[in-house]
Amino acid sequence: MNSPAKNILVTGAAGFVGFHVAKRLLEKGRQVTGIDNLNEYYSLELKSERLEELKKLPGFSFIKQDLCDAPALHDLVDREKFDAVVHLAAQAGVRYSLENPAAYVDSNMVGTFNVLEACRRINVGHLVYASSSSVYGLNSAMPYAVHNNVDHPVSLYAATKKSGELMAHSYAHLFRFPITGLRFFTVYGPWGRPDMAYFKFARAIMLGEPLPLYAGGHLKRDYTYIDDIVSGVLAVIDHPATPDEEWSSENPNPASSTAPYRLYNIGAGKPQSTREMLALLEKELGREAIIEELPMQPGDVESTWADIESLKRDVGYEPTTELRDGLREFVSWFRKHYLDSGRDIPKA
């Protein structure tokens, strides 16, 4: 067992997952430096509120910085010599990648490359980075497994996340520092992103506005509660990737390597339909939705479902939160943070 990383860099610390990961690390007594460029893809107010919560905890420092600024990032890692880096910064959103593709290349490819170079400079003890279930694209074999082919993305967002995985493996192979990738599956919960369906639905229901329901609400997602995600991320941080002694070049497994590299799904392992999620939200909010039926959108897939057996086996990951319970926690936060306080509910 490796000793726990004490001094950790979290990119995207003002984001949904980055905020929760940084918060849990700080509560466990780790030193956390957070960086974020605070872009305007969604509410800057929400991002600032997350940062204010983090600043209440000892051991946190924040730097507003764009990962595309390589010299600034290199100066930071040269100075701090982080034990581990958790790279969660990204341009998120499948549909927005149709509107502003350049943002995805800059953040998800150039930014990730700069993080890899920064980690190489200090021979970091472990780099953990975020990928996405979107990389599975046209693959319809269920559940999605990390040893499956993911060469047919259906959005530029997915293509940039797959590119990040490829770059990460090349750096693990060439420079031999441990790298672990996590393919996130539809994360939800308190402090979540306003562009996610559950947040948009809650806003529309409470304001009496029509909410878009794609493909009759039959699309299925592997909804994963934020606390389960964070527990998995923290377990992975302290289990640096090692070479797979059984890896075969004749039958190559994409999830491991002769390099210190690992790739995992991190989800709930239980797909549920948008209709199911909406019905649970209506129950918790005590109101019925006004539904606008819309066709399936470009870049969407019909279902996601995570095979999480390897993450369970290797780090003891065990999601425990049922969708109804997680949505209840989200609605409790949503009521307190917006409805009771009088704050405006942000749009996507």
CB 164 within 8 A of CB 111: no
Residue located via tokens 């499956």: 148
CB 34 within 8 A of CB 10: yes
- Residue 330, both tokens: 């989200």
Q: Residue 191 burial by CB count (10 A; 0-12/13-18/19+): exposed, middle or buried?
A: buried
d(CA 28, CA 89): 22
- Angle at CA of residue 214, ends 277 and 186, nearest 5°: 50
CB 117 within 8 A of CB 70: yes
* Active-site choice (104, 157, 225, 264): 157
Among residues 117, 169, 122, 88, the alpha carbon closest in space to that of 7 is found at 122
d(CA 286, CA 206): 9
Sign of CA dihedral 43, 195, 222, 127: negative
**Contacts for 163 with CB less than 8 Å, ≥ 6 apart:** 108, 109, 112
Residue 120: CA count within 13 A, CB half-sphere = 17
- Residue 207, both tokens: 């304001």
ω before 58 within 30° of 0 (cis)? no
Using only C-alpha atoms, the chain has a radius of gyration, in whole angstroms, of 19
Read off the DSSP letter of residue 181.
Answer: E
- Residue 281, both tokens: 């939200």
Count of Cβ atoms closer than 10 Å to residue 218 Cβ: 13
Q: Is 157 a catalytic residue?
A: yes
Q: Which residues are catalytic?
A: 157
